[in-house]
Amino acid sequence: MFAVIALMMGSVEQSHLSKNALNSTVTGELDLDHVLSVEIATATTFCVGIVLAAMALLQVQFITAYLSDQLVGGFTTGAACHVFASQLPKLFAVKIPNHSGLFKLIYILRDFFSKIGTTNIPDLVTSMICIIFLFVGKLWINPIITKRIPVPVPFELIAVVTATLLSYFLNFHKDMHMKVVSNIPTGFPAPRPPRFDLMGEVFLEALVIAIVIYVVTFSVGKLFAKKHGYRVSGSQELRALSIVQIICCFLHCHPASGSLTRSTINSQIGTKSQVTSFVSAALMLLVILWLGPLLEALPMCILSSIIVVALQGMFMQFKDVGLLWKTSKIDLAIWLVGFGATVIWDVSQGLAVAIGFALVTVIFRSQWPKTVKLAQVGDTNLYRDLERYDVREAHPHIVVFRFDAPLLFLNVEHFKESGVKMVDDANSHLKEIDSEFSVKYLIVDGSGFTHIDQMGVNGIKELTEDLKRGGVDVYLASCKAQVRELCQTCGLYANIPKSHFFPDIHDAVLFALEQDEMQCQLEKEEEQNGRF
């Protein structure tokens, strides 16, 4: 279970217990004084399963398309900070109150450092020894061993067994006041349906938890899919999660999700299939039925140490910041916003902010896309960015213009302004070099128009009319079939004849050169006729 889901579930449980305690004394409605926490948990789990099942039936897994690698990286790194902060008090055996909401992490650290004087030294020493042991084993010893044998050394298991034995025989709990796992009941409780009358009370919280469970689980899956080279299916994750919740609620279980720390541990020890889940489940079954009491002496700080060491892979994602700075400032902003919002606020809110910001960047890039002036590559029929390639312009009379985005209502003004500006800039440059030429033809490369709407067609029409008044003809090249069909439907051919549409840029350039040559010939003939 992801740590944040456990925290959210605990918050739901506490809020409804306290709220219903107040209702029972003030209003007399729905007396829940004696409702056990497990009943609220199972009702919430059932609601989460129903929400996830509805999401699976409605095929809403498309929301994962908005989880870019940068968003997932920033979000999971921020979530790792929350997990690390939640383990700090256990490493030092310090008691601090629970927090939620804005600046949660800051409040946790504030309370931690204010109580650090109450640290139990044996817990701290044990934590440091365990962390050093795990780091040395996993980062230095295991890489050497795995070159000779395929199975890495299970340093976590060694740490748990050793610490449990030492704690039991040296009596860590009584003599050193160390916190241990303590009582572990054996056996399974009898299956029982959830309290359906509680579902109205917890449904809204369950809705939020369901969304967070799906997004978090898919985010973690996507993270490790990228690392190990496989693919994850959003619809399959939804179906699996919904089935798990609905079945587990009858077995007194809380909502289940992917776990960042356990997934990281599995990744680090080299697991490749679901066989490890069967092994883990079998071991847990042994512990639940018979072996639980043997782990009662395990110090809590050992478990926290294992979690902290497992998080080092998540914190290594900070290296992505330097790479993103060099490659894409917008992707860097998505990473930083996802990380910052998660750290400053909380995991669920941070995820919402990160997705919202990513959508804003998509709108920003669609509304103000890049516009490119193209020129011919040597004697070929290829036309490339004039600023990026060693190319030459086709003719001073001709400007080739590409708009790198779908032409939609939100960017049509930018399209018109860019086309006019490109013609004006070309004319200004010709004047600076005292050229007698001026731009007469603007060729629009339509290959960037993956989609176009009616306002986009009107934008082409208005650009054509604006430039026509200045003596500039507009040609369109490389337009897709659906673009041409919409142009015909919207009556664009009344402003731009079909003869001004071309299959590629080079055909449009050749036609413009022919038209220019014919125009020059006519001007010469008129000049000669004027002399006579």
Q: Are 302 and 435 part of one and the same domain?
A: no
Model confidence at 143, pLDDT cuts 50, 70, 90, reads confident
Q: Is 49 helix (H, G, I), strand (E, B) or coil?
A: helix
Would you place residue 30 in the very low, low, confident or very high pLDDT band (cuts 50, 70, 90)?
A: very low
Torsion of CA 463, 467, 473, 479, to 10 degrees: -20
Task: For residues 344 and 389, state if they share a domain.
Answer: no
Other Cβ atoms closer than 10 A to 77: 22
* Residue 19: pLDDT over 70: no
349, 365, 381 - which closes a domain? 365
| Judgement on whether residues 331 and 424 belong to the same structural domain of the protein | no
Q: Which domain holds residue 56?
A: 3-365
Whether residue 290 is predicted with pLDDT greater than 70 in this model: the reply is: yes
Whether residue 404 has pLDDT greater than 60? yes
Single out the residue in 365, 382, 398 at which a domain terminates: 365
pLDDT attached to residue 8: 67
- What are the pLDDT digits (tens) for 418-449? 999 999 998 898 888 777 778 899 999 999 89
**pLDDT score of 512 more than 70:** yes
State whether 107 and 159 are in the same domain: yes
Does one domain contain both 277 and 340? yes
Percent of the chain at pLDDT > 90 equals 36
Structure token pair of residue 234: 């959003």
**Same domain, yes or no: 146 and 221:** yes
pLDDT at 21 > cutoff 60: no
Residue 31: predicted pLDDT: 41
Q: For position 32, what pLDDT does the model report? A: 44
Of the pLDDT bands very low, low, confident and very high (cuts 50, 70, 90), residue 148 is confident
Q: 395 and 301 in one domain?
A: no
Residue 11: its pLDDT value, please? 62
> Is it the case that residue 298 has pLDDT exceeding 90?
yes
CATH number of domain containing 483: 3.30.750.24
Residues 381 and 240 occupy one common structural domain: no
Distance from C-alpha of 153 to C-alpha of 133, rounded to nearest angstrom: 12
Instruction: Answer whether residue 89 shows pLDDT above 80.
Output: yes
Query: Which residues are registered as beta bridge partners of 401?
Result: 373, 444
Digit-coded pLDDT (tens) for 231-278: 888 888 899 999 999 998 998 888 988 877 677 777 877 777 788 888
Q: How many helices (H) and strands (E) does the chain have?
A: 21, 6
Other Cβ atoms closer than 10 A to 101: 10
Please state the domain count of the chain: 2
**Widest distance between CA atoms in the chain:** 122
Instruction: Tokens for 28, please give them.
Output: 């007399």
Residues 27 and 149 in one domain: yes
Same domain, 337 and 453: no
* 456/331 same-domain check: no
Please give the model's pTM, rounded to 2 decimal places.
0.75
Looking at the structure, tell me whether residues 434 and 349 fall in a common domain: no
- Kindly state the DSSP code that residue 189 receives in the 8-state scheme: P
Spatial CA neighbour of 470 closest among 422, 411, 520, 527: 422
Alpha carbon distance 35, 21 (integer Å): 10
Point out the domain boundary residue: 316, 340, 365. 365
